[in-house]
Chain A
Amino acid sequence: MSTLDELSSTLHPLEAKVLRALAGAGTALGEADLAERAAIQEAQARMASEWLLAKAALEAASEESVPFVALDDTGREFARSGIPELAIRRRLEQGPAAMADLGDAKDLSAAIGALRKAKLITVEQGKFALAPGADWSGIEADQGLVAKLATRDRWFEPDLAPHEWQRARELAKKPGRSSLGIKQGEQRRRTLQLTALGRDLAAKSQDVADEISQLTPDMLRDGTWRKHKFRAYNLQIPPPRTTGGRRHPYREFLDAVKRKLISFGFEEMRGPIVESEFWNNDALFMPQFHPARAIHDVYFVEGMPRATELPEPAASNVARAHETGGDTGSIGWRYAFDRDATRRLILRSQGTALSARQLGKSPSIPGKYFAIARCFRYDDVDATHAPDFFQIEGIVLGEEVNLRHLLGLMKLFGLEIARAEEMRFTPGYFPFTEPSVEAHMRHPKIGWMELGGGGIFRPEVTKPFGIDVPVIAWGLGLDRMAMVALGIDDIRDLFSPDLDFLRSRRSPILE
């Protein structure tokens, strides 16, 4: 497509009208004349001319300064409510009056001065009166002039009768209110003419004479759309920016994980953020002297309140499992279990607390459960530690369940959730599972990373709840993947309050 075609096909209808008006006139035109010839408003003519000047289709043929007269605020007020001279006449028609009775002396002094000079009023013993037989026609003509000037912003010489122009210029030279609010000034005016390109475009624009930009309901109703051509748009112009309702990208990621887990037959678990040490630790056979349970590793609730209810007989069974193994087939941790400390309330530090709770809710066998749980660890908040974070955890119960099923499950997660290209397992350690494994995977962008861990719940965890079948417990660490998908390297940004930042994040895709 030639430049001419391209320019022509994207001409705005106003531009086409201006081009054709100038071509038809065959001479340079001012903007007012241009508007008239093109049958558009002057403002539209001005706007379209600017566009065409920028495209070098128009050029200025002449520029000149032209005198004009106009009203200022005072003049517009006089046009509305009358000039002061006439107000004075109205008052004096009711009889002579003192200065103070005429109104605000400051506003009137110029008018009184002028009227006395023209002998239209007289003064006797400090009172003003109308001069008998005086001719007020000059004053009335001034009032008419002010009223006329108020109907337009600016008046040029050709727009007024010669005597009006002359009188307006005369008044404009007077000081203060004597000018009746008439000002004069000079405006730069230009005439415009077509360039060579403009002439070509004008010729072409005959074709798009009837092109319009917007289809309207009226056109559809009366069928007139058939008479119109619709202007082709310039496809390269960027559209206005828009924003919309949108899931949070990290939530979108977690939603996808959730969907996957449901598709694998997992049922969701929910539970409280403020948790007892019983469910968070003791039910998971973490000994009360375990290093991760010290005051500096979990958050306690202010005032150190205790849970008022623990489930029985499970709570006693758990205490015995710690002390002697109880009926679990274990010798236990062999220490004096603190039955008060187990009631202390803390912030959930691991999602496994929900799995422990599930064991106490007569879970289905076979059964699969998962949770995406908000957890809290006593860590300094920095680029790798958010104040709180989500853990993805779950359990699988079944008569036939064994370690190879855990490996299969982790592999399924790796392939289906985490885009693993390769996986390997190493023995792991968790206080509540035995045997335990860690799953590692090769991610297409990150390389080798830990996918998660798991194991078979120790009988000391399951038997206190009367569960005699093996229970696989697993957890996934996907935050690193979410961060890569979102293009961030500070974990706190997963919870960023910066709306610009959030609007700039693309939606991560979990395959």
Chain B
Amino acid sequence: MPTILVDLADLARLVGDDYPADQVEADLELVKGELKGADPATGRTKIELNDTNRPDLWSAAGIARQLRARRRGRGDAYKCFTDEPGGKRILVDARATEVRPYVAGFLARGPAVTEDSLAELIQSQEKLCDGYGARRKTVSVGIYRAEKIRFPVRYRMVAPRGARFVPLGMDDELDLQQILERHPKGIEYAHILAGAPVYPLLEDGRGGILSFPPIINSRAIGEVVPGDRELFVEATGTDLRAVLLIENVLAVDLADRGWEVEPVVVEYAFDTPFGREVRAPYPLTNELEVPTGDFARLLGEPLPPDEIERLLTAYGCDVELRKGRTRVATAPYRQDYMHPVDAVEDLAIAIGVNHLSPVWPERFTPGRLARLTLHEDRVRELMIGLGFEEIIANVLCSRADVTTRLGADAASVVALENPMSESYAALRPTLLASLLAVEERSAKTAYPHRVFEVGEVVVPDPGDPHASRTTSLLGALVAHPSASFSDAHSVLSYLGYYLDAPAELRPLESGTFLPGRAAEVLVGGRAAGHLGELHPEVLERWGVRMPVAYLELRLDALLAAAR
């Protein structure tokens, strides 16, 4: 979810001359926005926008547009979607399909660019490319000084070393491959072009290079400065609908600030979902037929159809009532309607969710805990009765903690492909490490220590569809100067009696425990855990200077065996 910086006074002015800036906060629910305080660096106000499918709202102009619709009772009509293109064209190579097929652009003429409006423009460009364009992968945007461009512009595919220019932010001419290797933006975004046989290039009618999409503009044409009055705004990408949507959003943002938009036509050498000649801005349609009864059914609020029409229109939608159905269409700068429920949500926002009165679910349903949880709780209660203190530890741990530091097998662990740090690189298959971490930390706490956890662990299991099983264990640890096998053994015997799951012991050889002082627990003939006196080598590795006895039981095995 993007966070943008706005000047609240500017935003209020865009809503209307008589609109008070202090009204913005309350109205932000219309755009799923939240004020997040002032940005200390710029003095502007931070607004977090929660809807990742509404990039049209990610600017002051976009927020103001939504608020304005309510004040005026309907959304604004933008003529840039219907104006005839002025004859300027972009020509697309057939080979674009091999790397980044689509491009769209328009011209904008208007008030001179100022420091503020340039900052706003750059912010929009970045938020749209990052948040909606998957960090430039599906859509990226370039903005240029139009006066330096001779149309037609060509969207040409060239060899990695087939073109050279001076990129923004540098003084030397580099070829495309060098840009990917040396320019900071090249290094950051090179992965998008990885493996491509050709690279895209935007070039004007005189052969002047505009940019190397989606990486970097040229310094000669692609550097907008305050005072510029004519801009060329293009987007390239892998999804034409997304490319056109972003162009539409940028066009209405500029139009709201008094710029005149001239559509440009793109001529493709191949078929696209929108034909071979595609203009931008493009009158995208996003239309739904909603069974009118669905509004009341899902919102729990009966509304007459004309009220639905009034509210949705004032939310900027185009509404037409038909027999039993309501046709709702978004403006061309929105593409978030997939299902009638999307229009239902627009109506809920238009009503204001606080105007819907809460009701409690009416139907009776019996509440109950999962059988495993009941069993866990029973074991926890018995352990607490025995005087054990409960621990909760994290499931993520270091691989060493649950293998070498316990004297256990390194292969017996489910680990992570992409750990954030070595400390949290594996899923614990035992609770022993969690409880030893308590001992490691608590040497100064008065003994005896009798601690336990009933918690989930993950054990590898090749037979499981997920190659692992999440299972619940009891781990109980006793530490005091004469802690011994019998401490753990009597806990086992106590639990076995009350859970009606008597246990048998079988000698266990394990690097974790002292030889001859460890046992595997069998319940109903099935392996159900183990117990023993910890090996002094293990205690040394954890810096524990107190004898420790440990019992671990698999609760699923106990549950299965309980008579």
Interface, chain A (partner B; CB < 8 A): 241, 243-248, 250-251, 255, 258, 261-276, 289-291, 295-296, 299-305, 307-309, 325, 328-335, 345, 347, 364, 366-368, 374, 376, 378-381, 386-388, 396, 398, 400-405, 407-412, 424-429, 431, 434-438, 456, 458-460, 470, 494-495, 497-500, 502-503
Please report the C-alpha to C-alpha distance between residue A378 and residue B370 in the assembled complex, in whole angstroms.
29
Q: Is the CB of A245 within 8 A of B383?
A: yes
Chain A residue numbers with a CB within 8 Å of B442 are 497-500
B446-470 to A contact mask, C-beta < 8 Å, 1/0: 1001110000101000000111111
Interface residue B87 (Cβ < 8 Å from any Cβ of A): no
Which of A305, A381, A429 meets B51, CB within 8 Å? Answer: A429
Interface residue B369 (Cβ < 8 Å from any Cβ of A): yes
Q: Is the CB of B356 within 8 A of A245?
A: no
Q: With contacts A381-B424, A404-B357, A437-B348 known, what are 14 further pairs, Cβ within 8 A? A: A248-B389, A262-B369, A276-B466, A291-B52, A300-B418, A301-B468, A325-B338, A333-B338, A378-B418, A387-B424, A405-B300, A459-B341, A460-B338, A495-B394
Interface residue B410 (Cβ < 8 Å from any Cβ of A): no
Closest B residue to A268 by beta carbon equals B370
Q: Is the CB of A267 within 8 A of B367?
A: yes
Chain B residue numbers with a CB within 8 Å of A398 are 361, 363
Say whether, besides A248-B392, A503-B389, A262 and B368 are in contact (CB < 8 Å).
yes
Question: Would you give the shortest CB distance from B379 to chain A, in whole angstroms?
Answer: 12
Q: Is the CB of B363 within 8 A of A427?
A: no
Closest A residue to B442 by beta carbon equals A499
Question: Would you give the shortest CB distance from A465 to chain B, in whole angstroms?
Answer: 16
B418-442 to A contact mask, C-beta < 8 Å, 1/0: 1111011001000000100110111
Closest B residue to A437 by beta carbon equals B353
Chain A residue numbers with a CB within 8 Å of B138 are 289
Closest B residue to A279 by beta carbon equals B466
Q: Is the CB of B29 within 8 A of A426?
A: yes
Question: Would you give the shortest CB distance from A285 to chain B, in whole angstroms?
Answer: 9
Chain A residue numbers with a CB within 8 Å of B450 are 245
Q: Is the CB of A366 within 8 A of B365?
A: yes
Say whether, besides A267-B367, A289-B138, A426-B32, A495 and B393 are in contact (CB < 8 Å).
yes
Chain B residue numbers with a CB within 8 Å of A364 are 365
Q: Is the CB of B421 within 8 A of A381?
A: yes
B293-328 to A contact mask, C-beta < 8 Å, 1/0: 000011111000000000000000000000000000
What are 24 contact pairs spanning A and B, CB under 8 A? A244-B387, A248-B391, A267-B366, A272-B468, A273-B456, A299-B416, A367-B365, A381-B424, A388-B396, A405-B300, A407-B357, A426-B32, A428-B32, A429-B51, A434-B342, A435-B299, A435-B345, A497-B438, A497-B441, A497-B442, A499-B438, A499-B451, A500-B444, A500-B445
Say whether, besides A245-B387, A300-B418, A329-B339, A251 and B392 are in contact (CB < 8 Å).
yes
Question: Would you give the shortest CB distance from A269 to chain B, in whole angstroms?
Answer: 7
Question: Would you give the shortest CB distance from A205 to chain B, in whole angstroms?
Answer: 37
Please report the C-alpha to C-alpha distance between residue A333 and residue B373 in the assembled complex, in whole angstroms.
38
Interface residue B195 (Cβ < 8 Å from any Cβ of A): no
Chain B residue numbers with a CB within 8 Å of A411 are 358
Interface residue B380 (Cβ < 8 Å from any Cβ of A): yes
Chain B residue numbers with a CB within 8 Å of A329 are 339-340
Closest A residue to B28 by beta carbon equals A426
Q: Is the CB of A386 within 8 A of B394?
A: yes
The 5 A-B pairs at the shortest CB distance, nearest first, are namely A402-B300, A435-B345, A404-B300, A262-B367, A407-B358
Q: Is the CB of B359 within 8 A of A405?
A: yes
Interface residue B364 (Cβ < 8 Å from any Cβ of A): yes
Question: Would you give the shortest CB distance from B132 to chain A, in whole angstroms?
Answer: 9
Which of A301, A401, A500 meets B361, CB within 8 Å? Answer: A401
Please report the C-alpha to C-alpha distance between residue A329 and residue B204 in the assembled complex, in whole angstroms.
45
Q: Please indicate which of the listed interface residues B344, B440, B467 has the most CB atoms of chain A within 10 Å of its own CB.
A: B467
Chain B residue numbers with a CB within 8 Å of A276 are 466
Q: Is the CB of B384 within 8 A of A241?
A: no
Question: Would you give the shortest CB distance from B86 to chain A, in whole angstroms?
Answer: 31
Chain A residue numbers with a CB within 8 Å of B396 are 376, 387-388
Chain B residue numbers with a CB within 8 Å of A301 are 414-417, 467-468
Chain B residue numbers with a CB within 8 Å of A386 are 394
Interface residue B354 (Cβ < 8 Å from any Cβ of A): yes
Q: Is the CB of A427 within 8 A of B369?
A: no
Q: Is the CB of A412 within 8 A of B360?
A: yes
Chain A residue numbers with a CB within 8 Å of B370 are 268-270
Say whether, besides A243-B446, A381-B420, A404-B358, A497 and B367 are in contact (CB < 8 Å).
no
Q: Is the CB of A427 within 8 A of B353?
A: yes
Interface, chain B (partner A; CB < 8 A): 1, 29-30, 32, 34, 50-53, 131, 134, 138, 239, 241, 297-301, 338-342, 344-345, 348-349, 353-354, 356-370, 372-373, 377, 380, 383-396, 414-421, 423-424, 427, 434, 437-438, 440-442, 444-446, 449-451, 456, 458, 465-470
Q: Is the CB of A410 within 8 A of B358?
A: yes
Chain A residue numbers with a CB within 8 Å of B387 are 244-245
Chain B residue numbers with a CB within 8 Å of A269 are 370
Please report the C-alpha to C-alpha distance between residue A402 and residue B298 in the assembled complex, in whole angstroms.
5
Chain B residue numbers with a CB within 8 Å of A296 are 418
Q: Is the CB of A247 within 8 A of B384?
A: yes
Q: Is the CB of B52 within 8 A of A246?
A: no
Question: Would you give the shortest CB distance from B353 to chain A, in whole angstroms?
Answer: 4
Q: Is the CB of A302 within 8 A of B415?
A: yes
Q: Is the CB of A424 within 8 A of B338?
A: no
Q: Is the CB of A299 within 8 A of B354?
A: no
Chain A residue numbers with a CB within 8 Å of B367 are 261-267, 368
Question: Would you give the shortest CB distance from B538 to chain A, in whole angstroms?
Answer: 17
Please report the C-alpha to C-alpha distance between residue A405 and residue B434 in the assembled complex, in whole angstroms.
41
Q: Is the CB of A251 within 8 A of B465?
A: no
Closest A residue to B383 by beta carbon equals A245
Say whether, besides A245-B383, A374-B456, A434-B345, A332 and B338 are in contact (CB < 8 Å).
yes
Q: Is the CB of A436 within 8 A of B437?
A: no
Which of A302, A333, A410 meets B417, CB within 8 Å? Answer: A302
Q: Is the CB of B418 within 8 A of A299?
A: yes
Chain B residue numbers with a CB within 8 Å of A470 are 297-298
Please report the C-alpha to C-alpha distance between residue A387 and residue B401 in the assembled complex, in whole angstroms.
15
Which of B364, B420, B421, B465 meets A307, CB within 8 Å? Answer: B465
Please report the C-alpha to C-alpha distance between residue A364 and residue B383 in the assembled complex, in whole angstroms.
35
Say whether, besides A273-B395, A307-B465, A380-B420, A497 and B440 are in contact (CB < 8 Å).
yes
Chain B residue numbers with a CB within 8 Å of A497 are 391, 393, 434, 437-438, 440-442
Chain B residue numbers with a CB within 8 Å of A412 are 360
Q: Is the CB of A379 within 8 A of B420?
A: yes
Chain A residue numbers with a CB within 8 Å of B414 are 274, 301-302
Please report the C-alpha to C-alpha distance between residue A243 and residue B415 in the assembled complex, in whole angstroms.
37
Say whether, besides A274-B427, A497-B438, A499-B442, A426 and B392 are in contact (CB < 8 Å).
no
Please report the C-alpha to C-alpha distance between residue A459 and residue B339 in the assembled complex, in whole angstroms.
8
Q: Is the CB of B421 within 8 A of A405?
A: no
Please report the C-alpha to C-alpha distance between residue A295 and residue B32 in the assembled complex, in whole angstroms.
27
Chain B residue numbers with a CB within 8 Å of A332 are 338
Please report the C-alpha to C-alpha distance between residue A289 and residue B135 in the assembled complex, in whole angstroms.
11
Say whether, besides A300-B417, A435-B298, A497-B442, A400 and B389 are in contact (CB < 8 Å).
no
Closest A residue to B366 by beta carbon equals A265
Q: Is the CB of A374 within 8 A of B395?
A: yes
Closest B residue to A409 by beta carbon equals B361
Q: Is the CB of B50 within 8 A of A429?
A: yes
Chain B residue numbers with a CB within 8 Å of A265 are 361, 364-367
Closest B residue to A410 by beta carbon equals B358
Chain B residue numbers with a CB within 8 Å of A405 are 300, 359-361
Please report the C-alpha to C-alpha distance between residue A424 and residue B134 in the assembled complex, in whole angstroms.
33
Which of B348, B415, B434, B468 meets A403, CB within 8 Å? Answer: B348
Please report the C-alpha to C-alpha distance between residue A407 and residue B300 in the assembled complex, in whole angstroms.
11
Q: Is the CB of B134 within 8 A of A289?
A: yes
Say whether, besides A426-B29, A498-B441, A246 and B416 are in contact (CB < 8 Å).
no
Question: Would you give the shortest CB distance from B60 to chain A, in whole angstroms?
Answer: 20
Q: Please indicate which of the listed interface residues B344, B358, B380, B423 has the most CB atoms of chain A within 10 Å of its own CB.
A: B358
Closest B residue to A499 by beta carbon equals B442
